[in-house]
Chains A and B, each alone.
Chain A
Amino acid sequence: MKRSLFVLFALISVFALSAQNFTIVNGTEPVSLDPHAVEGVPEHRIYMALFEGLTIGDPKTNRALPGLAKSWTFSKDYKTITFELRDATWSDGTPITADTCVKSWLRKMDPKNAFQYADLPASYIEGGMEYLSGKAGPDAVKIRAVDKTHFEVKLVGPTPFFPDMVVHYAFAIVPIHAIEKYGNNWVKAENWVSNGPFVLKEWKPQERVVVVKNPKYWDAKNVGLKQVTFLANDDVNVGYNLYKSGAADWIDTVPLELMDQIKLDKNFHVAPEYGTYYYIINVTRKPLDDARVRKALAMAVDKNALVSQVTKGGQVPADSFVPPSTGYTPAKGFAFNPEAARKLLADAGFPGGKGFPSFSILYNTSASHKKIAEFVQSQWKNNLGIDVALVNQEWGTYLDTRSQSHNFDIARAGWIADYLDPSTFSDMWITGGTQNDGLYSNKKYDEFINKAKVTSGAERMKALGDAEKVLIDDDMAILPLYFYVTQNMIDLNKWEGWYPNPMNQHPWKFVRPKQ
């Protein structure tokens, strides 16, 4: 009896052990493990395991929770923020001080390092852009260690959402002492030092990254997983097979062709995502420079049919560009109304679509973009009597056409927020903005956006909302089609601490086997 009990116990503990190992199909090979050098979703997921920024995302809402900073205080004008660090160390035992924070952020913005996303901290922190552009030295950046545990940041304007933004890896705190010691080799497993709930165990390029629990993490007793494996695979069918065969516990994309069947799976979780699928309109080209034409095009697309018959994955039809956000009133936009659309087109000089010049929709080669473009094509043909050609280009060429030569009429695009605030959407369309590929320009719009930069609270939200009304309701400068949804497969009877959320970010600290 004793013996069989022992065997039973041993079996249970083996099972419990394996149940604490988690595997995710993580998408493309990470470009780097250095949080300052990374970009993209796969890298962000690894970052959340290995590092802890000043703030971390709430697993349900993605709003800031205390991370390395146990608290923070704003000045009254929301232009200075002071983080109070907790008593934490790196995985090698070295303490993390406010000085580490200063050096980390300066490293990110150092022009010599040429890090992508360096403009994110630089454009919000006073003196950041001067340093990044090489016009000033690091002294110009207004961040400082008040004492060992207080880190003060002076901001360009009132930025009440700054703690939410600091969740982003562009604000990572990195082990300066290890970087100084090992140079570029600090990211190798044998030299690895980090401060997150996990540390690096192995990194096999093109294959996987394995992380194991960090015993030195300040909250290690609340970390529920022993090991997380990130598989490098971006083939959606292969990923789905891995999940179905039990080789992976979580996938974040599913094959579109199997959607009808997958939708019935109880482990398939659809939730609104903070992002928009839209068409950029090149407003400098005739006849698309006429707002009436753009409005007619918008009103002639039945977005409800688009999401129910084409994309099918639970996407939400979008009339505004900014997805639903707390405290924010988006533009009203233009609902499906073919009759009104025909009238507007006639007013613009093209009754029944007659005489409408040939134009085209540009998209990057992909089955789903193609299906959507074909749907829009048929809608414009049926509802307005105009013909639009479809042009697909390979990714690199498409990006070049869209953002460099601007040699397109209408181009497909998608935008997923970097942080939870409408400004990540609205800032794109200011005159001359780097993301403004449709070359839109309206002084009224720019004024509202600039107003939002120097105000806070409800006043700021109103300015952002007013800006979008100009962009969409007055000018119809871009054509929103639908709001993205997250499409995850994970067995929530087996795992807990994982919640569908708008940024699809799931801090590993909270994920654990269900008790």
Chain B
Amino acid sequence: MARYFIRRVLSLIPTLLIIVTLSFFMIRLAPGGPFAREKDVPELILQNLLKRYHMDDPLGKQYLRYLGDIIRWDLGPSFRYRDVTVNEIIDQGLPVSMTLGITSLLLAVASGVSVGIVSALKQNKWPDYVAVSVAVVGISVPLFVMGPVLQLFIGMKLKLLPMGQWISVHGWKAVVLPAITLSFPYFAYIARLSRASILEVLRSDYIRTARAKGLKESVVVWKHVLKGALLPVVTYLGPAFSGIVTGSVVIESVFLVPGIGRPFIQSAINRDYTLIMGEVVVYSIILIMANLIVDIVYGFLDPRISYK
């Protein structure tokens, strides 16, 4: 198990190297550059700027310099935000984005699985119909519609929760609306997924055996059904987490959340090469680690899987 873990973590290195290399050259292929403005920068100043950021070096040299820096976890200066380094932007934004992401994921799993259980046990009765309808809405309404709608009703009309801005302004109340919005499609999907797989497991032989043995219904559900039925849900957590992390980019704009998502979009528009690279690297690490964790949890749930 420990060896498996170490091997997986080590495999991060070649993966990241490929990602860094591809992104480094791809973003430089895009037309424009970090110093392009509506008011053109005079040639003189442009030259000074290129020199300042070593962009007058040959591309190969720039690439090697970047690799050297990134090994020391120095993501470089932002080309746009002159007073801060990319490391500082990530250090400030990452805890915020992670707070939002993890809260949303927990919320999606907890509510999704509960609704899934209820609707499977009450199949084709009204709780099931309600749950399925909510899930359809959740899957089909995009985040950028859901967010403003919740803002309008819960934030502006009912004034129950803040419409935007983060913990430093409103305390933990600020997390609620963005987390609900962000988790909603995943909640819906998890609800449908767990409903389907619980229904399937309920019909299997070992559950019939458990019932035949005279076990209490709650023990059957909690001990036998859930363990088997949660496997597809856990598998889905990997993609769900990446979805939540990237979806957070939209939510951060709608709810003014100071995470790493908004600067990511801005960096792409501004061609802020170092910031784009830094964000890509951080997102890659998050996604790879999330998949690793899912794989490990999988092993605990399914004894047929062993780590070698």
Q: Is the CB of B44 within 8 A of A206?
A: no
User: What residue in chain A is nearest B271 (Cβ atoms)?
Assistant: A396
> Which A residues are CB-close (under 8 A) to B165?
207, 231, 247
State in angstroms the CA–CA spacing of A29 and B74 once bound together: 23
Q: Is the CB of B83 within 8 A of A37?
A: yes
The reply to whether the CB of A164 lies closer than 8 angstroms to some CB of chain B is no
State in angstroms the CA–CA spacing of A244 and B82 once bound together: 33
State in angstroms the CA–CA spacing of A101 and B89 once bound together: 33
Q: A425-452: which residues lie under 8 A (CB-CB) from chain B?
A: 434-435, 437
State in angstroms the CA–CA spacing of A413 and B36 once bound together: 14
Q: Is the CB of A204 within 8 A of B258?
A: yes
State in angstroms the CA–CA spacing of A147 and B102 once bound together: 62
With contacts A28-B266, A400-B32 taken as known, whether A235 is within 8 angstroms of B253 at the C-beta atoms is yes
With contacts A206-B258, A207-B168, A207-B258 taken as known, whether A114 is within 8 angstroms of B51 at the C-beta atoms is yes
B7 to chain A, nearest CB (A): 37
Interface string of B162-188 (1 = CB under 8 A from A): 011110100000000000000000000
B80 to chain A, nearest CB (A): 6
> Which A residues are CB-close (under 8 A) to B82?
31-32, 34, 37
A103 to chain B, nearest CB (A): 19
With contacts A114-B51, A205-B92 taken as known, whether A434 is within 8 angstroms of B40 at the C-beta atoms is yes
User: What residue in chain B is nearest A32 (Cβ atoms)?
Assistant: B82
Q: Is the CB of A238 within 8 A of B44?
A: no
Q: B109-152: which residues lie under 8 A (CB-CB) from chain A?
A: 148, 151-152
The reply to whether the CB of A374 lies closer than 8 angstroms to some CB of chain B is no
The reply to whether the CB of A241 lies closer than 8 angstroms to some CB of chain B is yes
> Which B residues are CB-close (under 8 A) to A245?
155-156, 163
A436 to chain B, nearest CB (A): 9
State in angstroms the CA–CA spacing of A114 and B79 once bound together: 12
> Which A residues are CB-close (under 8 A) to B266?
28-29
The reply to whether the CB of B104 lies closer than 8 angstroms to some CB of chain A is no
B165 to chain A, nearest CB (A): 7
Interface string of A372-403 (1 = CB under 8 A from B): 00000000000000000000001111011101
B84 to chain A, nearest CB (A): 6
User: What residue in chain A is nearest B157 (Cβ atoms)?
Assistant: A245
Q: Is the CB of A33 within 8 A of B256?
A: no
State in angstroms the CA–CA spacing of A413 and B39 once bound together: 10
Interface string of B237-270 (1 = CB under 8 A from A): 0000000000000000110101100110010011
With contacts A114-B51, A245-B155 taken as known, whether A235 is within 8 angstroms of B38 at the C-beta atoms is no
Interface string of B86-105 (1 = CB under 8 A from A): 00110011000000000000
> Which B residues are CB-close (under 8 A) to A181?
none
The reply to whether the CB of B37 lies closer than 8 angstroms to some CB of chain A is yes
State in angstroms the CA–CA spacing of A204 and B42 once bound together: 32
With contacts A132-B44, A241-B151 taken as known, whether A400 is within 8 angstroms of B254 at the C-beta atoms is no
User: What residue in chain A is nearest B46 (Cβ atoms)?
Assistant: A114
Q: Is the CB of A207 within 8 A of B43?
A: no
User: What residue in chain B is nearest A37 (Cβ atoms)?
Assistant: B82
Q: Is the CB of B45 within 8 A of A395?
A: no
Candidates B33, B48, B164, B269; contact of A111 at CB < 8 Å? B48
> Which B residues are CB-close (under 8 A) to A118?
45
> Which A residues are CB-close (under 8 A) to B31?
396-397, 400-401, 404
A22 to chain B, nearest CB (A): 16
The reply to whether the CB of A2 lies closer than 8 angstroms to some CB of chain B is no
State in angstroms the CA–CA spacing of A231 and B166 once bound together: 12
The reply to whether the CB of B22 lies closer than 8 angstroms to some CB of chain A is no
The reply to whether the CB of A242 lies closer than 8 angstroms to some CB of chain B is yes
The reply to whether the CB of A473 lies closer than 8 angstroms to some CB of chain B is no
User: What residue in chain B is nearest A405 (Cβ atoms)?
Assistant: B31
> Which A residues are CB-close (under 8 A) to B271?
396
With contacts A31-B80, A32-B83, A118-B45 taken as known, whether A206 is within 8 angstroms of B168 at the C-beta atoms is no
User: What residue in chain B is nearest A233 (Cβ atoms)?
Assistant: B256
The reply to whether the CB of A414 lies closer than 8 angstroms to some CB of chain B is yes
The reply to whether the CB of A325 lies closer than 8 angstroms to some CB of chain B is no
Complex A-B: 16 CB contacts under 8 Å:
A31-B82, A33-B83, A114-B49, A116-B41, A119-B42, A205-B89, A241-B148, A241-B164, A247-B165, A396-B30, A396-B270, A397-B30, A400-B32, A400-B36, A413-B38, A434-B41
* New contact pairs (7) apart from A206-B258, A403-B36, CB-CB < 8 Å: A28-B266, A29-B263, A116-B49, A206-B92, A396-B30, A400-B33, A403-B40
Instruction: Pick the 10 closest A-B CB pairs, nearest first.
Output: A396-B32, A114-B48, A400-B31, A207-B258, A206-B258, A400-B32, A434-B40, A32-B82, A399-B36, A397-B31
Residues of A within 8 A of B (CB): 28-29, 31-34, 37, 39, 111-116, 118-119, 129, 132-133, 184, 187, 204-207, 231-233, 235, 237-238, 241-242, 244-245, 247, 394-397, 399-401, 403-404, 413-414, 434-435, 437
